[in-house]
Structure 1
């Protein structure tokens, strides 16, 4: 009985230790090295415009996922190679698709994304106007003599 209890305690401790080991946030081993303040500002502006491919709801600048750390390093390396912001974005789009951009390009593939909400709003307004006009026509004309209080 004591052996079973000891085994259960050890198993519970190992499970807890394993769970807490995986729950620790991933930290970047070495800080990023910028050449000057202008490069740092450009880097932060660029990573704020890019989406983390794992988190999907955070920018590359805000995400703490390991792939976000790797992509931030990749972006800085591309900047050090002399690539422009447009070239860096194009590189990431070729690798991960348009999803990596918070503001994808307006083209035939993304029309629904850009204009869909406005079309739904306009369609809803048109339906509302049609319904109000139908109800107004369906009501009998009220006269002062016909009113009962």
Structure 2
């Protein structure tokens, strides 16, 4: 939680220091890079990865942000289009009785 968006080599956080030691120990013990990564993910979860995998639940999170932006832009476009159409109310011409009443009022 203390070195988010920072790799463990660049971070000065205590957790990063502990992870560096753990990685070094696992590599000295003969584990491959993939085995060390799998060990860390099993122990701490995908949170320890600088770039989590884009699969499963993470894929949903990767898609959700841009998807919501696209939906919001579409909704805003529809709203503006309907609002513009509502503003374009066409006035019907006055009937003869209405015109006569209007002339009567204006002549006073």
Matches within 5 A, 1:29-68: 53-68=1-16
Q: 2:78 aligns with which of 115, 130, 141?
A: 130
Ranges in structure 1 where 5+ consecutive residues have no aligned partner: 1-52, 143-149
Match of 2:96 in 1: none
Change (3 A) 1:74 1:134: same
**Separation (CA, whole Å) in 2 of partners of 1:102 and 1:113:** 16
What is the number of residues matched between the two proteins?
90
Deviation at 1:123, TM superposition (A): 1.0
Deviation at 1:83, TM superposition (A): 3.0
Match of 2:26 in 1: 78
C-alpha contact 2:3 2:15 (8 A) present in aligned 1? no
TM-score, length basis structure 2: 0.67
Larger Rg: 2
**Separation (CA, whole Å) in 2 of partners of 1:130 and 1:84:** 54
State the superposition RMSD in angstroms. Answer: 2.2
Which has the higher relative contact order, 1 or 2, with Cα contacts under 8 A spaced 6 or more apart? 1
Match of 1:37 in 2: none
Deviation at 1:134, TM superposition (A): 0.6
Residue-by-residue CA offset, 1:37-56 (whole Å, 9 max, x unaligned):
xxxxxxxxxxxxxxxx4333
Ranges in structure 2 where 5+ consecutive residues have no aligned partner: 91-108
Match of 2:103 in 1: none
Deviation at 1:64, TM superposition (A): 1.3
- The answer as to 2:91 corresponding to 1:120 is no
C-alpha contact 2:41 2:48 (8 A) present in aligned 1? yes
C-alpha contact 2:6 2:50 (8 A) present in aligned 1? no
